[in-house]
Amino acid sequence: MYKRGILNLLIISAILLVFAIGCAHNKSETKLREKRASDEEIEKLAETFKNHKQISIERKGTIEINKNITIAGKGKSNTRRDVNVVNNVINSHKGAIEFCYRKELKNNPKLKGKMLLTITILPNGNVKNSKILYSSVRNKKVENCVINSVRKWKDFPVIDEKYGIVEVDFKYLFY
């Protein structure tokens, strides 16, 4: 009986210790997140040192999505396939595309360029096909990563089958 009580006490102590370590880890992780600089702060710092003779700071690994997208097909008349809706979905995946670019930027710091893509969106909101129409990036790893990422998009709004598919052309700028 005495041994069982000690064993239970040891188990409870171990559980409390694991819990306490987990709480401490979460607090330190939160503090780390709080101390990270925002993009705005980084841009201000870079601007401060921009014209300094000995220091060169430049923001790398950024992409822009050109707002001039074209939509073709019977489904373009549906409000769920208008330019703003499609642009919002494309923008929601910006992080994944930046990941593709930044991953290769480590190996090639001068990597930059434009990439014009076309995608086919099915009525169910999934991307059926994606391909690069033009790329000045000239890096197969970035290009393949972008294409594979875009093919996984499944979050365009659903439209009635009668509207059919739409083709969307849009451009990424990597710098």
Q: What is the DSSP letter of 126?
A: -
**Whole-structure pTM value:** 0.67
Query: What's the pLDDT score for residue 29?
Result: 46
Quote the CA–CA distance of 102 and 175 in Å, as a whole number. Answer: 10
For the stretch 56-73, pLDDT in tens is: 555 578 999 998 999 999
Instruction: Please calculate the CA angle 86-173-122 and round it to the nearest 5 degrees.
Output: 25
Q: What is the DSSP pairing of strand 113-121 with strand 63-65?
A: unpaired
Quote the CA–CA distance of 96 and 109 in Å, as a whole number. Answer: 19
Strands (E), the chain: 63-65, 70-72, 113-121, 127-135, 166-174
Helices (H), 36-134: 39-49, 83-92, 94-105
The alpha carbon of 122 is separated from its chain's Cα centroid by a whole number of angstroms, namely: 22
Residues of the chain with pLDDT under 50: 2, 7, 25, 27-34
Quote the CA–CA distance of 158 and 14 in Å, as a whole number. Answer: 51
